[in-house]
Chain A
Amino acid sequence: MEQKSSLGLAVIGWLVAIVMFFPILWMVLTALKTEQSAFSMVPEFVFTPTLESFKTALSQNAGYWHYAFNSLFTSVMSTLIGLALAIPAAYAMAFYPSKRTDFTLVWMVSTKFIPAVGVLIPIFLVYKTLGLIDNNWGLIALFVGMNLPIMVWMVYSYFKDVPKDIVEAAEIDGASTLATMFRVILPLALPGLASTGLLALILAWNESFWSLTMADHDAATLAAFIASFKSAEGLFWAKMSAASVMTVAPIIVLGWFAQKQMVRGLTFGAVK
C-alpha cells in the first residue's frame, strides 16, 4: 500500500518536473538550432547542433558583456545594500519589539501586493526629474525597494530563532548592542543571512519589468539583451534562445551550488 502510493507520488513528481523543465530544455535546443530550423512550424527534434547563435549573441556589436556587467552590478549591489538595511531593521524588530512591530512587518510585506505597473508612472516621473532613468543606481534603488520587505521578513524570522537566553547571556557578559549583534547574533544567523542574500540576488538578477522600462542602454541588463533580439526585422528565435541561456545559466549554476544552503535557510526554524 505504502509502496504503491510512493510510486504514484514519484510519477507525479517526475511529470511535474518534466513539465517545468520542458521550456528550459526547449530553450537550450532552440539555441543550438539555425534560425531557419528554429522558425520551422513543425518542431524539429532531430537536427545538427550549431553554436552559430551563441557566436552572434557574444559578438562585439550584440554587447553581451555590457549587459551582463550591468546585471551583475545591479543585483550584487542591491543585495548588499538590501542586507545592510534589512539586518538592523530586523534586529530592532526581533530584539526590541514595540507595540507596532507586528503591524510594521505586515505593512512592509503588504507593499508587495501593489502591482508594479500601478506605480510605474509616478516612479518614472520621479526618476526622470532626478535623472535616474537608464542609470545603474536608479535600478539598484528600485531593486532594494522591491526586495527589502522580503529580506526584512526573512532576516527577522532567523533572528527570532536565536534563543533568547543566548542574547541575555551576552548582555550579562557585558556585550553592548553592537557587540551582541556582530559577535553573537550575526554569526548564528549566518546561514539565514546567506539564503536571504541569495534570494535577493536571484530576484534582482531575474527582474525584467523595471529593467526594461527604466533602462534602455547604459544601465540595461540582460533582460534588455534578450529583448534586443526582437527587432523590426523580425524575431530571431535561435539567437534569442542563446541569449536567454546565457542569461539564466549563471543563476542556475549559482542556485545549484547553493541548493543545500537555500533549503536550510528557507526551512531554518521550521524544523528545529
Chain B
Amino acid sequence: MAVVELKGVAKNYGGAHKNAKAANAVENFNLTTRDGEFIVLVGPSGCGKSTTMRMIAGLEANTDGEIRIDGRDVSQVAARDRDIAMVFQSYALYPHMTVYDNMAFALSLKKVPKNEIEQRVNDAAGILDITHLLDRKPRALSGGQRQRVALGRAIVRDPQVFLMDEPLSNLDAMLRVDMRAEIIKLHRKLGVTTFYVTHDQTEAMTMGERIVVMRDGHIQQIDTPNALYHAPNNVFVAGFIGTPSMNFLKMTLGGDGKTLTGQTAHMVASSERQLIEAHKGRDLMVGVRPEHLILTTDETAANVIKGEIDVVEPLGSVTMVQLEVDGHRITAQLEGDTSVRMGDSIVLTCDSARLHLFDADTEQALPRHEHRTETA
C-alpha cells in the first residue's frame, strides 16, 4: 500500500517521430493518490493512458517530472525494484509454467522460503477460486481463468501498487461484468493502491474512486465518477463520459444572460450558472444528456427542442430516439412504453439545472456557483 505521486510527468519520444503530437505521448501529468485508492485512467486510444501506466511500472522511462511511491522517487529505479505488480491485457502468463509456478515465480525470485510460497499461492488461489487449476498450464485454461491467474500472480506478491492495463478487454461481455465486480471486491479486501487503464467509460465509471480522463497526452479532468458526470470540465469530458453521449447544441446567449436561442431550439439557463458578461450575445455549446430529455406537448415550456424522429431504438426498459435539430444530432432516452414512430414530430424539454454550458471557442465549461470544478 502506498501513496503514488506523479509530478509533471512527461513522455517524449524525441525527434524521431515526424508528428509532434505522437512525439509527446504524455505531458505534464500531475496526480497524487490516496493510500489504497482505485484510480482509473480512461481516454480514447492513443491518449497516453497506457504510456502513463508503463512509466509508473518502469517499463518506460519518463522523460520529465518525477514519480514517487511513498515518497521515494522511482524515476531511475528499474521495474523489478519498484515493488509493483501488473496485470496485462494479454495476461502475459508464462506459457511453459503451471498456474502454481506462474504465481510463485516472483516469490521464488525473491528467495521466499518454499513453504511460505506455498502458503501464499494457496491463499491467493483460494481468494480467486482457482485452487483446482494450480497444476494446469495456461493453454489449458479459458480466457476468464487466465484472467484470474493473471490477477493471482499480481496479488500473491502483496505489492505496493497494482497496475492493470485493460485487463478485461479480452473477455466476453458477460464475464467482463462479473470480473469487474470481482476486481472491485478484491480491491476492497486488499486495499492496495491501484491504477486501472481502460478505454471503456462504463468500466471507468463503475470501478474508479477517481477517474483521470485523458486526451492527446493531456489530463482533461481528474474527478469522482459523479463529478465527471454532473460537472464535466469541457466538451470532451462531457461527451466521453456517459452513454449514450451528451447532446450538444450551438446556441446564442441573449443580452439578459439567461435566454439561449438556437435556430429552432430555445432554452433558459438556470440561475445557478455564473454567466459572465463576456459571453452575452455570444455562441455557447449547450449540452444536455439523453436521459435528461423529456417528451412534452407543451411548446411554450422554457426549454424546447423540436424535431422529427429519424431513428427509434426500443431497448425494452427505455426507448432511444434520434432526431436532427439545428444541424445537430440529438439522442433522447425516453420511457420504454413511449409510443413514438419514425417520422413523428416531437417536442423535448428538460430541467434548466440539467443544462451544461461551454464556451464555444475554448470548449471549457462555464463556471458554476455551487460546484467548484478543479482544473487539472
Contacts and interface: CB of A to CB of B under 8 A. Distances in A.
Nearest to A186: B96
Contacts of B57: 168, 172
9 contacts: A165-B90, A165-B92, A168-B92, A169-B88, A172-B58, A172-B80, A172-B84, A175-B105, A176-B80
A4 to B, nearest CB: 40
Closest 6 CB pairs of A and B: A165-B92, A173-B106, A169-B92, A174-B80, A187-B96, A174-B109
Interface SS of chain B? loop
Interface of B: 57-59, 78-81, 84-86, 88-90, 92-96, 105-106, 109-110, 153, 157
Given A188-B95, A188-B96, A172 B79 contact: yes
A100 B93 CA distance: 31
A208 B114 CA distance: 53
B205 to A, nearest CB: 27
A13 interface: no
A163 B80 contact: no
A171 B105 CA distance: 11
A166 interface: yes
A174 B105 CA distance: 9
Contacts of A126: none
Contacts of B109: 173-175, 179
Nearest to A166: B92
A19 B284 CA distance: 83
Given A176-B80, A179-B109, A187-B96, A171 B88 contact: no
Contacts of A169: 86, 88, 92-94, 153
B59 A171 contact: yes
B99 to A, nearest CB: 14
Given A172-B79, A175-B109, A163 B85 contact: no
B96 A174 contact: no
A174 B59 contact: no
A163 B92 contact: yes
B90 A163 contact: yes
A186 to B, nearest CB: 10
Nearest to B78: A171
